[in-house]
Amino acid sequence: MKTVLVFDIETIPDAKGLRRFGNYPDTLSDVEVVEQAIHERVAKGSSEFLPLYLQRVAAISCVIRRTTKEGLPQFKVGTLGDLESSEKTIIQEFYHLVEKYTPQLVSWNGSGFDLPVLNYRALVNQVNASRFWEMGESSDSDAREFKYNNYISRYHARHLDLMDLLAMYQGKANAPLDGLAKLCGFPGKLGMDGSQVWPAYQAGKLDEIRRYCETDVANTYLMYCQYQLLRAGFTPEEYALEINFIKQELTKESKNPSGTHWVEYLAGFES
């Protein structure tokens, strides 16, 4: 099967960036700078959520589903980098995966949030993302097809934003991943939601944020399988085999010291 790369990001406010735009004294901590910036936004009638270019990437989790050169099925889920990795490092790792596999990218609201944030922060951090930005203009023979099917165009297939597509590109029809996943019998979100990421980060719980992000990409891949069943990309038999394969792989992951969250996740499947 074609390599599928499901991705999801978690972000925190960019305190360093805020300091460049506001007259904040050096005596203020990053947390105080963010609190003051949010207070100023609310006072002007804006939402508490900072603009996308002021969102710093704290975690990028991915599912990679592919067939190896030996013809073996492979399913990997994890978070890029480690607890000490810089924002630049994890963003570069993401675009490196795109460069390495030229995968089918799959997301839930990736067009509206994840990719714009990644693009802005890639600019800020001077990250190379040449394959992602390929649009058939280079001299590489294998790049010509990108003119008609690339990662950039909303209506091309190399990036599949499931939320956007299922809503027929109508924002008012968008559905939350957690709710729709649960309706389909999948576990949904575990541990926290997006609004709790910044408080968790302040509390030094980056490991919990990374685990939460991993369950989100697992949900997204399961919804991708459901979508393939919908469009006859999977037969019912192939779909059942794929779901069982995912459960088996997550069961293996749950036995690792860093994979205990998969025990709770697996228990959330509707029987």
- Quote the radius of gyration of the chain (alpha carbons, Å): 19
Q: Output the CA–CA distances (angstroms, integers) from residue 188 to 54, 68, 225, in the order listed.
A: 28, 29, 15
Helices (H), the chain: 15-21, 30-43, 87-101, 115-125, 162-166, 177-183, 197-202, 206-230, 236-254, 261-267
Give the range of the structural domain holding residue 97, as residue numbers without chain letter. Answer: 4-266
Provide the number of structural domains found in the chain.
1
Q: Output the CA–CA distances (angstroms, integers) from residue 101 to 2, 104, 107, in the order listed.
A: 9, 9, 17
Q: Is residue 271 part of a domain?
A: no
Label the pairing between strands 4-13 and 104-107: parallel
Q: Is residue 184 part of a domain?
A: yes
Residue type, 137: E
For the entire predicted model, the pTM comes to: 0.95
Rounded CA-CA distance 116/190 in Å is 25
Residue 99, domain CATH: 3.30.420.10
What's the pLDDT at 191? 77
What's the pLDDT at 139? 74
Name 5's bridge partners.
64, 105
Q: Residue 60: how many CA atoms within 13 Å on its side-chain side?
A: 29
Q: Is residue 161 part of a domain?
A: yes
The token duo for 89 is 């490092």
What's the pLDDT at 271? 64
Q: Residue 177: how many CA atoms within 13 Å on its side-chain side?
A: 27
Below-70 pLDDT ranges, the chain: 141, 271
What's the pLDDT at 126? 98
Q: Is residue 262 part of a domain?
A: yes
Q: Is residue 158 part of a domain?
A: yes
Rounded CA-CA distance 31/50 in Å is 14
Q: Is residue 110 part of a domain?
A: yes
What's the pLDDT at 109? 97
Q: Is residue 258 part of a domain?
A: yes
Contact 4, 224 (CB under 8 A): yes
